[in-house]
Structure 1
Amino acid sequence: MDEKQRIITRMIIQAGQMLLAHGAESTLVGDLTRRLGLASGMTDVEVSMSASSLVVTTVMNEHCITTARRCPDRGINMRVVTEVQQICIMLERKIIDYRLALQKLEQIKPVRYNRWLVLFMIGLSCAAFARLAGGDVMICAITFIASCCGMFVRQEVGHRNFNPLVNFAVTAFVTTVISSQAVIHQLGNAPFTAMASSVLMLVPGFPLINSVADMLKGYINMGIARFFMASLLTFATCLGIVAAMTVTGTWVWVR
């Protein structure tokens, strides 16, 4: 029975680790880990989360096992979260047992979209924001180019495992330098719109939403940690924009 409990505990914390690392909100992480444990035959499952770690305690026949794992940020990936949910549902419906559930968890790999498709869609979305802000075709084109180049830099810096704060700052700098050419050369009907729209891809919307959801649902520490991380990312973006505007001398548009 001890061996069974150890395997189930390892399965539970692996699932929680994947959920937390890929952007799931705290309530979902806690609920799914408990459901996995109860569906596997555990008497009780207790979960404790922090910004970078997860602690799980399982109880079976009055015997407790506690284990902890670090949960480094792996980037937002809802496909991983969905696959873990599917495994949980199959386990609850007795379609699979805990051993097969552990095997399926180990087979989950984050699937990324084609990088060139991501570049195109990011450029298109930022150009759409520029259009909504009243920009003409020239402004939309400059926004598209600047945001595509910025996203390319973000991908390259991310692949080299730099700190996310450095990534956001460098990306914001490159994007603003390119989009500021509209202000320098007075291109389009509203050159400043290109500078404002091209960096919208760096707004940490998902972490901010998760931080508010966590705090509203009782996970105060997690919510505060996520809020401050999102705020730091925003601050890094601002530093990159300010540095680029200082280099190009385009402060005039904010006066």
Structure 2
Amino acid sequence: MDIHHQLKELSKFLSDYSTSLMAVGVQTSRVVKNTTRIAESFGFDLDMTIFQKTIIMTLRDADNSHSYSTVSRIKPMALNFAVNSKLSTLSWEAYDNRLGLDELKQRYHEIINKPRESKWLVLFLVACANASFCRLFQGDVTSMGIVFVATLAGFFVRQFLIERHWNHLAVFIISSFIASIIGSTGYLFHWGNTPDMALGTSVLYLIPGVPLINSIMDIIDGHVLAGTSRFINACLLIICIAIGLSITLLITGVSAL
């Protein structure tokens, strides 16, 4: 295989690999390190520039006599820590065992195409987790039950709308509204002794914790542009949650109680 073809094929793979890492919620510095590690296993140097929606990379040989550049859009994938971990492990396997490109591609596609957990199981576990948050903030059993039902409804609607490719900001507003309107029933019908906890924690499952953490880590690591864009996006999501919750308060008048 001549050097130009090798650079081209490896660049295409690294573009898919790096955009997948960004899509599943990996911090920018880790994306750079993992992708560079694979390039080094083939004896090449790699330069990367990462933006909110695109990744620009240039792969070149050691003496800079040959190079190949690509511009790739980041894939629209959901956060997935399992894929995150396996793709990172793949970079070490490539470096330590000097895996060939064909084997790398095969393992990569196995990781990416592995079926995700049942959405019904995820729905149930998220509802349980959010109900636990309610208890953590001193909510009683009644409030926990309200939060459980509110999260089931809100997260189901979120899954439904995302599958139909709705704008993610609109999805957050609608999901926040549905969860909070159910969470307000403790106030409206005088159920339980901690209705404020039921209402307040009913939307916690929407908080974009991973984007917020990644944005701060990116800025600290020197990837200011990527970190700032992630932080702005996370802030927009938080504003959308607040809008959905505010609509509930305006409709129910709970704020006046």
Query: TM class by shorter-chain length?
Result: over 0.9
Partner of 1:13: 15
Instruction: Output aligned runs, 1:29-40, within 5 Å.
Output: 29-40=31-42
Moved more, 44-53 or 88-97: 88-97
Residues 213-224 of structure 1: pairs in structure 2 closer than 5 A: 213-224=217-228
- Quote the sequence identity (%): 28
Q: In structure 2, do the counterparts of structure 1 residues 95 and 2 end up closer, same or farther at CA, with 3 Å as the change threshold? A: closer
Deviations 1:28-87 (CA, angstroms, capped at 9, x unpaired) = 110111111110121x11011001000110112511111110114312112222222232
Q: Which amino acid aligns with 1:33?
A: T
For normalisation by structure 2, the TM-score amounts to 0.93
Q: Which residue of 2 aligns with 1:24?
A: 26
2: CA distance, partners of 1:168 / 1:110: 27
Q: Which residue of 2 aligns with 1:51?
A: 52
Unaligned runs of 5+ in 1: none
1:196 aligns to what?
Answer: 200
The letter of the residue matching 1:66 is S
Whether the 8 Å contact between 2:42 and 2:98 is mirrored in structure 1 is: no
Contact 1:210 1:223 in 2 (8 A): yes
SS in 1 for 2:89: helix
2:240 alignment partner in structure 1: 236
Q: Secondary structure at the match of 2:130?
A: helix
* CA shift for structure 1 position 99: 2.4
When residues 210 and 221 of structure 1 are mapped into structure 2, their CA distance, relative to the original with a 3 A threshold, is: same
Pick which of 100-109 and 2-11 moved more: 100-109
Distance 1:34 1:207 in 2: 23
Runs of 4+ in 1 over 6 A off after TM superposition: none
Separation in 1, partners of 2:25, 2:32: 13
Q: 1:88, CA displacement in angstroms? A: 1.6
> What's the TM-score, normalizing by structure 1?
0.94
Q: How well do the aligned residues superpose, as a CA RMSD in angstroms?
A: 1.5
Distance 2:185 2:7 in 1: 62
Q: Distance in 2 between matches of 1:111 and 1:145?
A: 27
- Answering whether residue 78 of structure 2 is matched by residue 75 of structure 1, we say yes
Deviation of 1:127 after TM superposition, in Å, equals: 1.5
Deviation at 1:95, TM superposition (A): 5.1
Partner of 2:97, secondary structure, is coil
Q: How many residue pairs end up in the alignment?
A: 252
On the 8 A contact 1:169/1:239 being kept in 2, the answer is yes
CA distance in 2, matches of 1:229, 1:241: 19
The residue correspondences of 1:90-109 to structure 2 (distance < 5 A) are: 90-94=93-97, 96-107=99-110, 108-109=112-113
Residues 80 and 109, structure 1, Cα contact 8 Å, conserved in 2: no
Measured in 1, the distance between the counterparts of 2:55 and 2:15 equals 7
User: AA paired with 1:143?
Assistant: V
Return closer, same or farther for 1:147/1:219 CA change in 2, 3 Å cut-off.
same
Counterparts of 1:102 and 1:114, CA distance in 2: 26
CA shift at 1:112, angstroms? 2.3
Identify unmatched segments of 5+ residues in structure 2.
none
Return the offset for 1:245.
1.6
Which of residues 155, 161, 165 in structure 2 aligns to 1:161? 165
**How far 1:116 sits from its partner (Å)?**
2.0
User: Aligned equivalents of 2:80 and 2:150: distance in 1?
Assistant: 25
Map of 1:86 onto structure 2? 89
Greater alpha carbon shift after TM alignment, 93-102 vs 204-213? 93-102
How far apart, in 2, do the equivalents of 1:166 and 1:136 lie?
A: 31
Shift of 1:178: 0.8
Q: Per the alignment, do residues 165 and 194 of structure 1 end up closer, same or farther by CA in structure 2, a change over 3 Å counting?
A: same
Aligned-pair CA distance for 1:110: 5.6
Query: Does structure 2 retain, via aligned residues, the 8 Å contact 1:79–1:111?
Result: no
